[in-house]
Structure 1
Amino acid sequence: MLAPEIKTREKPLDRIDQLVAAHRPGYALTRPFYMDPEIYERDLERVFFRHWHCLAHESVIPNPGDFEVFKLASEAVILTRAKDGTVHAMLNLCRHRGAEVCTKPKGNAKAFVCPYHAWTYGNDGALKAARLMPKDFKREDHGLKKLHVRVVEGLVFISFAKEPLDFSEVENLLHATAGQYGWGKAKVAHRQTYPVDANWKLAVENYVECYHCGPAHPEYSETHALEQPLHMIEELNAKMEARTCALGIDVGSGDHWQTSRNNKEAIHAFRYALYDGVKTGSKDGSPLSTLMGRFSDFDGGVTSIHLGGTSFLVCYADHGMIYRFIPRGVEACEMELIWLVDEKAEAGVDYDFDKLTWLWTVTTDEDKAIIEHTSRGVRSHFYEPGPIAPMEQNELRYINWYLDEISRPVGA
């Protein structure tokens, strides 16, 4: 006898899932993805707290006891270097009543004393003292909440996730890319934060495509061939690779841009040429600082790295750039730019500060204006997303990646 057919009812899609399901392939995101507070909260839960983020270059905390506080979305993270030289990242939350235990933005300290009830933590996060607590109180159970940390080629990465995504492909590709450029022996020459009145995704989408480079970034487009479609710069790219090879350097590239379904972090590294005669990312293409890493001469190329959805790296032979995108609210974010030079390079001797920072300062000023123009337009009740252009292939891929990420609950 056949068993009776049992009909199961699928769980109905919630409002956000319905918006994801209604997304038109090949088109930009609709208005709610940039303005809806509930979507912003899901962004934090399923994208920001799930993935790895580049927090800093470890040269910002060179000595034992050094610390700096970083604010990301609603969280504050203390980055420290302990007495044994190890790097730690902890949430700036006392395990007693939740007060901030570190009240200075940066400095050097052997311990952090909560200003509320004087609970005292070591710079590795361990609770050292909790005054007037009962005898059965266990200090070892009440250290600061630790984040997962990886330090690769001088770059400090953190993850808020309880079980972080596999970082091995990222680590291998960073060794093959940033490692060739000597980022492990670099230092920070300058940091600049740009507040942007826009949802964080508008800022990232702008960064990952160069369709806008020609009309919006005339300075960048004078020297960087990426402002052309890729098929039009194949000859320039071939010349670049030949010069790199002649220097005895094999700079890696690789496309591991993937969702977290397989529990792996996403990374994509690619190379592209500067125009003929241009050595680096400067106003006139001339050198900006001393050569880094394995480079004994300029190869006229750039290595670009997209990592984890919020972290982006740009490698030149004589300097590097870190781009960090930080949510601040549903319609607010920050872009932090970090300029790297060789650890032995001296300002005013080996590089001129104004020349070093000129190109990406000009470009980011322009980007901030563009992103905010777009944000104001997207607020219109009559906004309808248009089709993604062929030169926006990385934006299209980013959108598809993002929609997949917010479709899956944490742990799925």
Structure 2
Amino acid sequence: MSVHPIQQAHTDGDAIDRLVASHRPGHGLVRAFYHDQAIFERDMERVFRRHWHCLAHASVIANPGDFELFKLGDEAVILTRGMDGTVHAMLNVCRHRGAEVCTKEKGNAKMFVCPYHAWAYSNDGSLRAARLMPKDFDRSAHGLKKLHVRVASGLVFISFAETPLDFDPIEQSLRTSCGQYGWGDAKVAYRQSYPLDANWKLAVENYVECYHCGPAHPEYSQTHALEKPAEMIEQLNAAMEQRTCALGIEIGSANHWQNSAAGQEAIHTFRYALYDGVSSGSQDGSPVAPLMGRFTDYDGGVTSIHLGGTTFLVCYPDHGMIYRFIPKTAGTCEMELIWLVRGDAVEGQDYDLEKLTWLWKVTTEEDKKIIEHTARGVRSHYFVPGPIAPMEYNELRYIGWYLEEISRA
């Protein structure tokens, strides 16, 4: 058996470009894209450090002085709410010798003091004290490295880019989608992280297609019509939209999935129906929490948002889901799931946490197994990707977008 010729290349910069140029349209990515260290480093440079990423829901830092530490690849980011209420994001790297200045995962603090030489930073990142430095030392020039940060519909986004992609259209899209579900006034009910022995793209590719939903997710497929081909659910979708309009709600749906060449972020907002009689994403389709936002009844639908390559949002009338995909190494990544409920909802009174989280816990445990099965399979030197099925149209689009991004210096 012969090895596919483009898998034999040594992946320096030119070889990566040749791999991209040799990609077979309508097919998946070859082995190197899931294992090669040089490709992973380019992923981090041209996808991860170029695009906006949802870090958290703003309710995790609800009060002045609140902070939480987030790790993304080799970077550690301190997310804080300043004493004036402003949200900040800084690299956890002392401007003196590079030690980590924040040593706790979360808490409330007015100041971060580096454990190495005791340089002290305010929770907005400004340097307040640098002991025994000369009189002409400029503290104002040595604050923690700040990242671009935007808060939209309750979601905190960061960008590592020197000049970030235009966020204003994203903010507008979120306002007309998850904003209608009241996410700006929501709170985090539960969070869970799933470490994966797989390249981050395998995890994202699995998420964006539902060709696997029927055989792999029987629980999800009992309630969500997305597991059927698009032409089979047109009537269900039409009925869903009628119910949404009858509630006086208009939810934006738009496809702006584009590369970043023109300085724009990629976002795709779309809606799909639940099966008749299903209200929400739960074990039996029944409601699991109080209605959110503008919803006074259930419309039997779901709003889904794909944003920037690593952020995916799911809106039900009574709760929301944030999916964060976090690259770690060439062969590992992490998925974080965040469940949102109405801000005044009380656990044990307004919602049962086990019922709220059941469906997506079960589905994600199944996904973890599938993704890791795939990761082991594509390690084979004889792996040659097959054709993408019609139901995998979102994966096909994602692969094309990804290849365009890593081709752009």
Q: Is TM > 0.5 for Structure 1 vs Structure 2? A: yes
Q: Residue 146 of structure 1: CA displacement? A: 0.2
Identity across aligned pairs (percent)? 75
Q: 1:13 to 1:331 in 2, by over 3 A?
A: closer
1:377 aligned partner = 377
1:49/1:161 contact within 8 Å kept: yes
Taking structure 1 as the reference length, the TM-score comes to 0.96
**Secondary structure in structure 1 of the residue aligned to 2:157:** strand
What is the RMSD of the two structures over their aligned residues, measured on CA atoms?
A: 0.8
Distance 2:48 2:56 in 1: 16
Q: Residue 206 of structure 1: CA displacement? A: 0.2
Distance 1:246 1:13 in 2: 55
Whether 2:42 is the aligned partner of 1:42: answer yes
Distance 1:191 1:375 in 2: 25
**Secondary structure in structure 2 of the residue aligned to 1:262:** coil
1:78 aligned partner = 78
Letter in 2 for 1:31: R
1:224 aligned partner = 224
Letter in 2 for 1:228: K
Distance 1:193 1:283 in 2: 21
1:344 aligned partner = 344
1:297 aligned partner = 297
1:56 aligned partner = 56
Whether 2:155 is the aligned partner of 1:162: answer no
Q: Residue 168 of structure 1: CA displacement? A: 1.5
Distance 2:383 2:402 in 1: 21
Distance 1:398 1:168 in 2: 22
2:237 aligned partner = 237
Letter in 2 for 1:302: V
1:188 aligned partner = 188
2:248 aligned partner = 248
2:208 aligned partner = 208
Letter in 1 for 2:272: Y
Distance 1:260 1:408 in 2: 9
Distance 2:40 2:151 in 1: 29
Letter in 1 for 2:66: D
| Counterparts of residues 120-131 of structure 1 (less than 5 Å) | 120-131=120-131
2:393 aligned partner = 393
1:118 aligned partner = 118
Whether 2:90 is the aligned partner of 1:95: answer no
Whether 2:66 is the aligned partner of 1:66: answer yes
Please list every run of at least 4 consecutive aligned residues from structure 1 whose deviation after the TM superposition is greater than 6 angstroms: none
1:198 aligned partner = 198
Distance 2:133 2:214 in 1: 64
- Spell out, residue by residue over 1:37-95, the C-alpha distance to the aligned partner (whole angstroms, 9 max, x if none): 00000000000000000000000011000000000000000000000000000000000
Letter in 1 for 2:115: P
Q: Residue 231 of structure 1: CA displacement? A: 1.1
Q: Residue 136 of structure 1: CA displacement? A: 1.2
Letter in 1 for 2:177: T
Q: Residue 134 of structure 1: CA displacement? A: 1.0
- Spell out, residue by residue over 1:84-140, the C-alpha distance to the aligned partner (whole angstroms, 9 max, x if none): 000000000000000000000000000000000000000000000001111111000
- Spell out, residue by residue over 1:189-208, the C-alpha distance to the aligned partner (whole angstroms, 9 max, x if none): 00000000000000000000
Letter in 2 for 1:279: S
Distance 2:355 2:18 in 1: 49
Number of equivalenced pairs: 398
2:145 aligned partner = 145
Distance 2:194 2:184 in 1: 26
Distance 2:231 2:88 in 1: 44
Q: Residue 13 of structure 1: CA displacement? A: 7.2
**Secondary structure in structure 2 of the residue aligned to 1:180:** helix
1:169/1:256 contact within 8 Å kept: no
Distance 2:103 2:285 in 1: 43
Whether 2:355 is the aligned partner of 1:363: answer no
Letter in 1 for 2:96: H
Any gaps of 5 or more consecutive residues in structure 2?
1-11
